[in-house]
Every structure is written in structure tokens, then in C-alpha cells.
Amino acid sequence: MTGAVVKVPLFPLNTVLYPGGPLPLRVFEPRYLDMISDCLKSDAPFGVLLIRSGSETGPATTYDVGTLAKIIDWYQGSDGLLGVTAIGGQRFRVISADRRPNGLNIGEIELLESEDHISLPEEYKPLAHILTGVLDDLGRLYEPLDRQYDDAGWVGYRFAEILPISPEQKQSCLESNDAMQRLHLVEEVLNSIRGPEEAS
């Protein structure tokens, strides 16, 4: 399917979704409730894009590269809102988008090539050990994930989604095709966080 051009509904968010990563959503806008309903009926994905400017509930401009999201669970919250859990799939690039009368954007997208599997190099094995404990602590959201601690790309994506880095850095990690570059960034961020503690 790489390089294929397809149409999907688009969901602009203030978050970056990575391949293999979880996405919890609370949905209340009619346009997105309809979108979730349609996706569930047809077992189809929707596209998640990081907002560049604007808001999730109003007009927004987004980055062009995003990730397909597949719904794996949903529930009706006690507050009446629809709760949805999705998992990130293939990355894509938006070619064009049309806005429906209900405000939902439908994108014509090109599916991007998935990264080749690269075994986690020995020097980065400590990162996998840290990640094991972190994901266990994060609980239910990460329980459904197929954990691939020996995959350099998977480990880098998981750190990129949970580390306190800027949305622009998170987007850069998504757009990069270099798993080792992401791991290097992760290591730098972790060292900057741990630095003062190690020095004391």
C-alpha cells in the first residue's frame, strides 16, 4: 500500500500519533462523533495531524505528515462524552483536503513507506530497560500494545510520545525516517533530565 493515494477523514489534534502508539480521545463534536461512527461501521481508519496553528474545536492549520489511527475500543463516559482508544498505523502525507458541510475535513493522502526493522543496538539497550518500567507504570493505555523492545524504531517512537519535548520536536520525530537519529534525540533529552540529579 506504500505510495497508494486514498481518502480518509482527518482529525487535527494538539498531539502527535506515532505508528504503534496509543491515542485516547474524548469526542463531543458532532462532526467527529459522525466520523467515529462511520469508521466503526466500516472498520476504517482516520488520519491524525498535529495542529500548527488554531484549535481542536475551531479552524486549524496542520502539518502535512500524520498517522492513520485504527479504533480498538470505545465507551460512553459518565459525562455523556464518547471515549475512544485508537492505535497508530501507517504514516501519510496530505496531498489535498476538502471540507464537508458539517466541518469535517476529508483528506486525499499518500501512504508513506514504513521503516525497515532495525534491531536495537547494544548501546541503546538501557533505553529499552527504562521503557519497560515506564510503560508498565502508565497502565491500561499501553496494555494492548504489541511490545517490541528489540526494535529501534518502536523504542524511539514510544519515547518520543512520552518525553516532555516540544510539539515541533515530536513532529520532527514523526517525519524522520532515521530510527537511530530519534534514539540519539531521546538519549540527549534523558541526559538533560537526569543531569542535575547525577551531578548532585
Q: Given pLDDT bands bounded at 50, 70 and 90, which one contains residue 195?
A: low
Cα angle 55, 168, 145 (rounded to 5 degrees) comes to 90
5-13 vs 82-99, strand pairing mode:
unpaired
How many percent of the chain have pLDDT more than 90? Answer: 73
Query: What are the angstrom distances between the C-alpha of 83 and each of 23, 28, 75, 86, 176?
Result: 11, 9, 5, 10, 30
Higher confidence at residue 44 or residue 190? 44
Which grid cell sits at 79? 459525562
CA atoms of 66 and 16, how far apart (whole Å) = 8
pLDDT at 198: 46
- Computed over every residue of the chain, the mean pLDDT equals 91
CA atoms of 61 and 180, how far apart (whole Å) = 30
Q: Look at residues 176, 180, 200, 166 and name the one whose alpha carbon lies nearest to residue 189.
A: 166
Cα angle 163, 169, 174 (rounded to 5 degrees) comes to 90
Bridge partners of residue 96, in order along the sequence: 108
Q: Cell 524504531, residue?
A: 153
Kindly report the pTM of this predicted structure. 0.91
Q: Given pLDDT bands bounded at 50, 70 and 90, which one contains residue 191?
A: confident
| Per-residue pLDDT at 172 exceeds 60 | yes
User: Taking every pair of C-alpha atoms in the chain, what is the biggest distance, in angstroms?
Assistant: 59
Tell me what the mean pLDDT of segment 183-190 comes to: 90
pLDDT at 200: 37
> Domains of the chain (ranges plus CATH)?
5-111 (2.30.130.40), 122-195 (1.10.4060)
Which grid cell sits at 63? 502539518
